[in-house]
């Protein structure tokens, strides 16, 4: 009947929090959407679990079923995406976000450093995530991609795994993780361009709020990839959507 992820998950989080209050807690939380499944109680479970995530999680990567579905339909041109197709996208993002924990790197090498760079206030720890290049399951990307192209695709609102457009809010902080043979200078130039072009979408009271990390080891089947983590005020659209379904 549903509720295992939200109910059991948040119970575990609060128990772990009690036992190990000094540990960082990161969750990958899937926000339900009527487009993907029409279980009546989904908005209720999601709404009831948000309180626990606000209080007991240190970083929550919001993954939105509606956005995943739209990416599969629009970008990957899949007529009727299965859960396997949605999970393929989620696994790519999870792999990208945890790159710095698994491989040697300079930035965000553990969850604490990621939180220090990304969370300006403890309760504002809900992140939007994005990934590039997007390929469907079983299909390999044969096109050569370059850093500007990766950056553009990664920041495109259509390719965000949370169905909220960053142009409706402002970024507090962001982090971009590039994998493969990438020159640090090229990445930093691109990120500077992004910040200059979109300066209105970044809060001015946090200077240098785009972090970049490089990892020389690309994911399987790709020469180069990038993962984006953004702490944007537009994430409220997700919660509003679930709140409207709740009422």
pLDDT confidence bin for 172, thresholds 50/70/90: very high
Residue 104 pLDDT > 90:
no
Q: How many structural domains does the chain have?
A: 1
Q: What is the pLDDT of residues 203-221, one digit of tens each?
A: 999 988 888 888 889 888 8
Query: Residue 218's domain is classified under what CATH number?
Result: 3.40.50.1440
Helix (H, G, I), strand (E, B) or coil at 62: strand
Under DSSP, the state recorded for 4 is I
What's residue 142's pLDDT?
Answer: 64
Q: For residue 224, what are the domain limits? A: 4-246
Q: What is the pLDDT of residues 6-38, one digit of tens each?
A: 889 899 999 999 999 999 999 999 888 877 777
Return phi, psi of residue 101, to 5°. -80, -25
**What is the distance between the alpha carbons of residues 247 and 233, in angstroms, rounded to a whole number?**
23
What's residue 6's pLDDT?
Answer: 85
Q: Is the link from the previous residue into 219 a cis peptide, with omega within 30 of 0?
A: no
Helix (H, G, I), strand (E, B) or coil at 209: coil
Helices and strands, number each (H, E), in the chain: 9, 6
* Rounded to 5°, angle at Cα 115 from 27 and 107: 110
Query: Mean pLDDT across the chain, nearest whole number?
Result: 88
What's residue 27's pLDDT?
Answer: 93
Q: What is the pLDDT of residues 110-168, one digit of tens each?
A: 888 889 999 999 999 999 999 988 877 766 666 678 888 899 989 898 889 998 888 89
Residue 1 pLDDT > 60:
no
| Ordered strands of the 126-132 beta sheet | 26-31, 59-64, 126-132, 224-232, 171-180, 210-215
């Amino acid at each position: 009947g549903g509720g295992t992820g939200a109910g059991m998950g948040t119970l575990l989080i609060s128990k772990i929090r009690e036992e190990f209050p000094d540990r960082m807690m990161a969750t990958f939380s899937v926000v339900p959407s009527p487009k993907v499944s029409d279980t009546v109680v989904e908005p209720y479970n999601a709404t009831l679990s948000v309180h626990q995530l606000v209080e007991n999680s240190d970083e929550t990567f919001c993954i939105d079923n509606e956005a995943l579905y739209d990416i599969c339909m629009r970008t990957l041109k899949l007529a009727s995406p299965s859960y396997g197709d949605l999970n393929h996208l989620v696994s790519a993002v999870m792999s990208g976000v945890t790159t710095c924990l698994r491989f040697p790197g300079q930035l965000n090498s553990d969850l604490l450093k990621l939180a220090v760079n990304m969370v300006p206030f403890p309760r504002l720890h809900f992140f939007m995530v994005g990934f590039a290049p997007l390929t469907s399951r079983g299909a390999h990307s044969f096109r050569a991609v370059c850093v500007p192209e990766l950056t553009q695709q990664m920041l495109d609102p259509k390719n965000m795994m949370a169905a909220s457009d960053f142009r409706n809010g402002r970024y507090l902080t962001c982090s971009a993780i590039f994998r493969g043979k990438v020159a640090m200078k090229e990445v930093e130039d691109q990120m500077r361009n992004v910040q200059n072009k979109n300066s209105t979408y970044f809060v001015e009271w946090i200077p240098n709020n785009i972090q970049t990390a490089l990892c020389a080891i690309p994911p399987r089947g790709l020469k180069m990839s990038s993962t984006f983590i953004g702490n944007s005020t537009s994430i409220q659209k997700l919660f509003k959507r679930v709140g409207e379904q709740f009422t």
